[in-house]
Amino acid sequence: MCGIIGYTGQRERVHDVLLTGLAGLEYRGYDSAGIAVADESLTVHKRAGEVATLEAALPTEGVDGLAGIGHTRWSTHGPPTDANAHPHTDCDAQVAVVHNGIIENYAALRRDLEAEGHTFTSETDTEVIPHLIEAARERGAPPEAAFRDAIQQLEGSYAVAAVFPDSETVYAARHESPLVLGLGDDGHYLASDVPAFIDFTDRVVYLEDGQLAQITPSALVITDEQGAVVTPTVDRIAWDPEDAGKAGYDHYMLKEIHEQPAAIRQCLRGRVSELEGTVTIDELADLDCEGPVQFVACGTSYHAALYGARLLRERGIPAQCFLASEYAVDSIPVSAETLVVGVTQSGETADTMGALRQANRVGATTLALTNVVGSSAARECDHVMYIRAGPEIGVAATKTFASQQVALAMLASVLAGERSTAFVERVRALPDQIQQVLDESPARAVAETYADADAYFFIGRGYNAPVALEGALKLKEISYTHAEGFAAGELKHGPLALVTERTPVFALVTSGSSAAKTLGNVKEVEARGAPVVAVTDIPNEVGQAVDDVLEVPSAGPRFTPILANIQLQLVAYWIAHRLGRSIDKPRNLAKSVTVD
């Protein structure tokens, strides 16, 4: 979602650092961008549209100064306009602020400030922050105290950064929205996510809720809510900046689809022993789970969690899966005996973090299954298991979904105390089988055939059901066409009314006890004139009953659906490509959803 970048150091680098940082945050999804640079006065430039639009509006000689902040906005309060873009300033342009999150009490704060004579120029909740700082300055508070006073009045989630004229200090604070600080040889950085400054430094400090940071070219000072100085822990980021490049592919999404064999190998590295038939996850060595398991997740991660819950139930472990956004609303029974697993690619998803925090409050054991080292989920949960997929820039999750599935398969094996050479052999074979699908897939031709359809249905049973949901989500995310996924048996309970000759059905028919029933559902849609594309490891049994086949290797009931998903990712990509969509940055969507 919204992105923040900040820098203080060499004045001639401020302009370049801010623009590089904004470019590094474009993957998060946004609809406007802006920067503020502090010198003798504040210089603010902001535009609706892409970072390139902002860059074109900047002076040709650049905008340098003592310190600077930048922002990419994903609209919540007010549409994407120049006025609503960040940064925002107070009445006299004596402070500039950028903000991620939602200020829940902004309406009351704004009414009070307007009554005091403050003039607002935007529709955003963010604009109350610079005016709160201005009010504190008018009462005689210096910048740090004014910034702290404003932050203490906010309710909701926020990551905030501010700069003042004639100052080289950047002030920052967070509550339930991520901020990370970067320590460089030529100054200091802050951002909502590491890719914003990974070109400049790999040394980072993760700001915690309630902490306030002041960065200058030579110092980093962190204080707690009472103003006491905190000694930070400095971590190193293992990502190479080149890992986030396109490597010759037209889109990040296509590159990341093709990175899945390597991502799965990295996920498995050091965790499986074919000789002993065991899975060992060192970071979970002290995990003691004897009670039920609850998964909480959103979007693609929720589909992976559905897969994980089925894996556990098959092994006799009670497991349920919940949409994180509904977890608190539904008052789910959870106790100290429950293991609550938050599946979140970024480790910052607001709804998932809310569910995990609720579980922590009642004393449940919490486990984060995430891709990002040092993320909020990784730091706040009792345990963490990293999926090790590497940086994923495309908004539509691809390699992280496959890595989540494999990580969940290993987690299920560990929780069940399983010892199975067959299981280890199956999972170790996956990277080569995925590569085979990538090398041989006819998905582009299938996409060309059906790119002009009115809508698309995806059906599957058992372990294929979550993959059907994910296949539909991936297509609707990047092609903007209507797509729905169903457990195959549900077609006749309503959705069949929508089936026509212009609604192709992608049927996941893989070897196992449910294949015959899914073929029965295929007959139902064919009888209504719908074309059918089968994703299958049994083409000889299925081919005569469908219009097109996307073949995958046979990997057993648990793992063949992972291979089937690769075909559906490719179909989604090539349909979106055929339609000329913005594949890496689909409209209205964000990579990391950090608001409720």
2 is an active site residue:
yes
Sign of the Cα torsion 224, 227, 230, 236 reads: positive
HSE-CB for 11 with a 13 A CA cutoff? 9
Which residue out of 2, 267, 289, 321 is catalytically annotated? 2
- Contact assessment for residue 298 and residue 593, using Cβ atoms and an 8 Å cutoff: yes
Give 23's DSSP letter: H
Closest Cα to residue 189, out of 69, 283, 297?
Answer: 69
For the sheet with 293-297, list strands across it: 319-323, 293-297, 339-344, 365-370, 383-386
HSE-CB for 505 with a 13 A CA cutoff? 31
Which residue out of 46, 476, 585, 591 is catalytically annotated? 591
Closest Cα to residue 354, out of 375, 335, 331, 328?
Answer: 328
- Contact assessment for residue 90 and residue 133, using Cβ atoms and an 8 Å cutoff: yes
Closest Cα to residue 517, out of 578, 461, 444?
Answer: 461
159 in helix, strand or coil?
strand
Give 27's DSSP letter: G
Q: Rounded to an integer, what distance in angstroms lies between the CA atom of residue 11 and that of residue 187?
A: 10
B/e letters for 346-361, b = 16+ CB within 10 Å, e = fewer, are bbbbbbbbbbbbbbee
- Contact assessment for residue 591 and residue 395, using Cβ atoms and an 8 Å cutoff: yes
591 is an active site residue:
yes
Q: Rounded to an integer, what distance in angstroms lies between the CA atom of residue 436 and that of residue 432?
A: 6
In terms of DSSP bridges, do strands 88-89 and 156-163 run parallel, antiparallel, or are they unpaired?
unpaired
Q: Rounded to an integer, what distance in angstroms lies between the CA atom of residue 362 and that of residue 319?
A: 18
Q: Rounded to an integer, what distance in angstroms lies between the CA atom of residue 516 and that of residue 32?
A: 51
HSE-CB for 161 with a 13 A CA cutoff? 34
65 in helix, strand or coil?
coil
User: Which residue numbers are catalytic?
Assistant: 2, 591
